[in-house]
């Protein structure tokens, strides 16, 4: 991206330098006012067309980068969602196992308590 910024700055400087040079040459050149105005008009039309072409190019480039960014963001989002599903499923499985173990321990404790109460009553 930095290369595009440097290229854009170079092109802008090149165009501005060209404008200044052309304007200086036209003003200092020994010709009639009508010829000078005609040359200025044709130069301005050419520069306007070049500017419009640059704007179109950079707009298309920005749209391309935006499209690529959105596609990549969607891919990353889908990957994160899949990873979250895996983690949640694993967590649910672990929670179910812990719940089963806790229920088993509760049953064992209840059985031990019943056994303990049953032997006390016999004494």
| pLDDT single digits (tens) 44-91 | 888 888 888 988 999 999 999 999 999 999 999 999 999 999 988 898
pTM above 0.75, yes or no: no
Contact 51, 18 (CB under 8 A): no
DSSP three-state, residue 123: coil
More confident residue, 20 or 58: 58
Could you identify the residue written with the tokens 């306007």? 48
Angle between helices 2-28 and 33-122 (to 10 degrees): 170
Least confident of 38-47, 91-100, 114-123: 114-123
Please give the structure tokens belonging to residue 32: 């009639």
pLDDT band at 9 (very low <50, low <70, confident <90, very high): confident
Least confident of 2-6, 71-75, 103-107: 2-6
Contact 54, 10 (CB under 8 A): no
């Amino acid at each position: 991206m930095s290369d595009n910024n440097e290229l854009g700055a170079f092109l802008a400087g090149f165009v501005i330098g060209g404008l200044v040079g052309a304007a200086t040459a036209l003003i200092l050149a020994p010709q009639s006012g009508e010829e000078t105005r005609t040359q200025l008009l044709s130069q301005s039309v050419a520069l306007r067309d070049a500017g419009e072409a640059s704007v179109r190019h950079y707009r298309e480039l920005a749209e391309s980068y935006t499209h690529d960014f959105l596609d990549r963001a969607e891919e990353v989002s889908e990957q994160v969602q899949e990873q979250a599903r895996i983690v949640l499923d694993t967590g649910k499985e672990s929670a179910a196992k812990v719940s089963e173990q806790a229920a088993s321990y509760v049953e064992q404790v209840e059985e031990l308590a019943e056994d303990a109460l049953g032997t006390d009553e016999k004494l």
